[in-house]
Amino acid sequence: MSDLAPSSSSMPDPALFRAELLDRKAHLRAAQARMPQVAEVSRLLREIDAALGRLNDGSFGLCAVCHDAIEADRLRADPLTTLCLDHLTPAQARALEGDLELAVRIQTTLLPARHVSLGGWDAAFVYEPAAIVSGDYCDFISVGGSLVFLLADVSGKGVAASLLMSHLHAIFHTLVPMGLPLTQLLEHANRVFCESTLPSHYATLMCGRASPTGEVEVCNAGHCPPLVVRDDETSVIAPSALPLGFFADSRYATETIRLAPGDTLLLYTDGLTEALDASGRDYGVERLEGRVKALQHEPVTHWPRLVLDDVSAFRAAGQRHDDVTVMALRRKA
Ligand SMILES: [Zn+2]
């Protein structure tokens, strides 16, 4: 996600780092009093004092080898770090690679089956991180014969965003099986998300419950509007609520639409429509609408890949900046 958010890639306020380091120091001092024989505590205290010294002399956040800025996400995760990615020691680089492989493995296990066929619906998705892990959350959960589908885009990028993605996964896999009405489900999810994340973190979300009768109750919480593709027309589901994580007491209004056999819902994250070609033009919603009209007679399981292929062709030599997820859901004929 690229708009709205206080960017997670920019350097955070040094005052916040100072406060955090002083807080850690107080905890370590207390720990040292309880276990004076543990050398690790003394070593960490020395490192914290060194980091506070760097905050004082203005060298905090700069690589000790090349003096360029250390990646903000890494600094936030570990304020004691003194080397940029390019200048890690071989052992540190191996450890980081291991951590990232683990993060990818964890994220992969959190994705649903690529194709789902349930309660009169066929659904499929493609999920493409811009870097190693993604901040998109994509899910299908079956409850009482209906299919709950979710697509969210978490603020920020990289490992920090992927942690929030796994957080949403845990929240919805706990709440959805309770069978709450959709409004209540989202109000609960929003409260839990608000209480357990920083104020600068939020997630746009498109959530729906598709029943075997063709009725689909939906809520668009600040997410890019999904397309409803019918034989004769294409419409969108406009946002009707704030993203998750803004305000703990947000309300989540839903609407119910009816899909006829063969009608298709297309959900996506903004990495799709905001993809840029080499000249800086974006892919845009109009082009997407044109593309899906041409896909009417393709199996819905092919839609996400075909849409993404069109975006890749459009982007051509343009750079990829954002995670992309595309989800398609069709009422069976
Ligand atoms: Zn460096």
Among 331, 117, 326, smallest CA distance to 230 is for 331
Separation of 71 CA from ligand 1 center, angstroms?
10
Cα separation, 145 vs 17, in Å, equals 49
Q: What is the CATH number of domain 14-88?
A: 1.20.120.910
Confidence of residue 1 (pLDDT cuts 50, 70, 90): low
First to last CA, the chain: 35
Residue range 190-225, pLDDT digits in tens: 999 998 877 778 999 999 999 999 999 999 999 999
- Residue 299 φ/ψ, nearest 5 degrees: -60, 140
DSSP letter assigned to residue 120:
T
In single-letter form, the type of residue at position 60 comes to F
Which residues make up the environment of ion ligand 1, defined by Cβ < 5 Å?
A: 63, 65-66, 84, 87
Q: What is the pTM of this model?
A: 0.78
Q: How far is the CA of 219 from the centre of ligand 1 (A)?
A: 45
Numbered ranges of CATH 3.60.40.10 in the chain? 112-331
Give the right CATH number for 112-331 from 3.90.700.10, 1.20.5.440, 3.60.70.12, 3.60.40.10.
3.60.40.10
Q: Where in the chain do CATH 1.20.120.910 domains reside?
A: 14-88
Q: Cβ(241)–Cβ(250) under 8 Å?
A: yes
Residues 92-139 pLDDT 10s: 888 888 888 888 888 888 999 999 999 899 999 999 988 788 889 999
Expressed in angstroms and rounded, the spacing between residue 88 Cα and the centre of ligand 1 is 8
Distance 107 CA to ligand 1 centre (A): 29
**Both tokens assigned to 149:** 């589908």
